[in-house]
Structure 1
Amino acid sequence: MLKAALNGNRTPSEHPRIPVTPQQLAGAAREAVEAGADALHLHPRNAAGAESLETEAVAHALNAVRAACPGVPVGISSGWWILSDVEARLAAVRAWTVLPDFVSVNWHEDQSPELAELLLERGIGVEAGLWTAEAVQTFLDWPRRDEVLRLLLELPDKPIRDYKAELREMFALLDASDLDKPTVLHGLGESAWPLLREAGRRGLSARIGLEDTLLLPGDFDAADNAELVRVAREILG
């Protein structure tokens, strides 16, 4: 599976093709799917363009993208920076009237198990976002780990030499467990393309998009999400 991460917390000031409005998200999603994306990840925005978990923002974004890409799984982020008050975040999820297919839950963030349990109760798939070996171990100790949709191994914007040891430890913990779940491996910035290639070598799912990088391999500017997806498809084969 290749997932397109359409916008993240980026703004059009960083790249003119960052989608913000529901209509822009729908257009970017359609282009990404046509380029080869199998699933979509996005950060809904409110009327002011800020990331939001509010009912209206989530519904408008999901409805627009699903109309443009029927049948394609669509997920959103639940990152603490979007809504840092944990109880408010849980209340926002309870209030959703249009449900995403999956939500990424970063396991190092406060009360991530409670959020994951609420999502499961609402019938929403959980992507367990694992950024460190410590987060992997904490997740493996969670009694409901077998109920998640998949794992999302995420590494930061660092040179290859800085994350190899952490990645080895993360995989060692997972390999030593009896957990058998689909896994997406992806990076950010400098690690985005090396980890996409690593995902291909390991037979894992991958992720790419303007959330993760604004550049093509070779440090050429990417035109849009669709170009990133097309190049990723060529690399993955």
Structure 2
Amino acid sequence: MSRKVILTCAVVGENKFNPAHARFPITPQQIADAALEAEQAGASAVHLHVRNPVTGEGSRDPDLFLDMATRVRDNGVKAVMNVTCGGGGLYCPDPQDESRAGPGSDVASAEERVRHIAMIRPEMCSIDVSTQNQMDGDKEYIYLNSQSTLRKMAKAFQQLGVKPEIEVFAPGDILLANQMLAEGLFDEPPMYQIVTGTKWGLPSTAETLIYMRGLLPPKALWAAFGIARMQMPMVAQAALLGGNVRVGLEDNLYLSRGVFATNGELVARARTIIECLGLEVAAPDEARAMLGLRKG
């Protein structure tokens, strides 16, 4: 029997995107339809954000999340629902006084950051165990996730019965997450998502994955993904090294140079890569069993 690989589709993110992409999902219904498209193409799980339906900008409005999640469920999507919990950690220092938050900052309490998760009760949600210099287009910011906030969020997820997907952007992030696991803040088996290809982040290479994999605790599940043109190469690298994979329009807009993709097309290509390696994509309920989730 070949190994099962969880294929996640991140159908929409919150960062800037090329407005020329006519099929980029923005409204709650478009996002719900994109989730269904991804599942029909073979996705085991869908990772979901929301956007302001009028401006197209990223949002963390809990009512938008509830609307979107309701539409995903009404669409009959059976893939594991994984909702972002990354909003509320955006710190833009005042150029005149970096001890003060400047324009564009959005730093929220742990309670506020998990409010939409309490409203939706998805099967999974992301927790970014990282503080890092990042960029959105030409905008510089610090992605701020203090240890105190992360511990509060992790406790809230346990109380809600929602499994965290632990997103890590650097080696030290894994070490902190391992400590939180030792403290009982994450339930077994933990699921780590290795993020590569962000500006000032991990390079999208096999060496990166081999090193990061070596820091993981025993029996941990893990996945990895690459940004932009490195999306599909990292599908192959992660699958070959025993991990799970992620694709989708959150991380990459193109099927090939100059050709805009849909989520379904990206999932189909990733599935082909996985199967050509002699592996199989996990069905949604197989993914649930691997992750220790209840049957959908």
* TM score, norm. by length of structure 1: 0.86
- What residue is the counterpart of 1:22 in the other structure? 28
When the two chains are superposed, the root-mean-square deviation of aligned CA atoms in Å is 2.5
1:78-227 alignment runs, 5 A limit: 78-79=85-86, 80-81=89-90, 84-87=106-109, 89-94=110-115, 96-108=118-130, 109-110=145-146, 111-142=149-180, 143-144=183-184, 146-147=186-187, 149-157=190-198, 162-164=203-205, 165-174=207-216, 177-178=217-218, 180-216=219-255, 219=257, 221-227=259-265
Confirm or deny: 8 A CA contact 1:199 1:206 kept in the other structure. Answer: yes
Give, as a single letter, the amino acid of the residue that structure 2 aligns with 1:221. Answer: V
Residue 83 of structure 1 deviates from its aligned partner by: 8.2
Confirm or deny: 8 A CA contact 2:197 2:203 kept in the other structure. Answer: no
Question: Structure 2, unaligned stretches of length 5 or more?
Answer: 1-5, 91-103, 131-144, 276-296
Confirm or deny: 8 A CA contact 1:3 1:40 kept in the other structure. Answer: yes
Higher strand fraction (1 or 2) = 2
The C-alpha deviation readout for 1:65-93, integer Å capped at 9, x for no partner, is: 12213332111222224983231x52252
The answer to whether residue 96 in structure 2 is matched with residue 75 in structure 1 is: no
Mapped to 1, the partners of 2:115 and 2:85 lie a distance apart of 13
Confirm or deny: 8 A CA contact 1:44 1:58 kept in the other structure. Answer: yes
- What residue is the counterpart of 1:236 in the other structure? 274
Mapped to 1, the partners of 2:20 and 2:161 lie a distance apart of 35
Residue 220 of structure 1 deviates from its aligned partner by: 5.3
* TM score, norm. by length of structure 2: 0.70
Mapped to 2, the partners of 1:102 and 1:192 lie a distance apart of 22
Residue 166 of structure 1 deviates from its aligned partner by: 3.8
The C-alpha deviation readout for 1:94-122, integer Å capped at 9, x for no partner, is: 46422222111110122222212212211
Give, as a single letter, the amino acid of the residue that structure 1 aligns with 2:70. Answer: N
Confirm or deny: 8 A CA contact 2:196 2:203 kept in the other structure. Answer: no
Aligned residue pairs total 230
Question: Structure 1, unaligned stretches of length 5 or more?
Answer: none
Confirm or deny: 8 A CA contact 2:210 2:241 kept in the other structure. Answer: no
- What residue is the counterpart of 2:12 in the other structure? 7
Mapped to 2, the partners of 1:27 and 1:18 lie a distance apart of 11
SS of equivalent residue, structure 1 residue 104:
strand
Mapped to 2, the partners of 1:21 and 1:40 lie a distance apart of 16
Confirm or deny: 8 A CA contact 1:66 1:72 kept in the other structure. Answer: no
Greater C-alpha radius of gyration: 2
1:28-67 alignment runs, 5 A limit: 28-48=34-54, 49-67=56-74
Residue 155 of structure 1 deviates from its aligned partner by: 0.9
Higher helix fraction (1 or 2) = 1
Mapped to 1, the partners of 2:237 and 2:78 lie a distance apart of 28
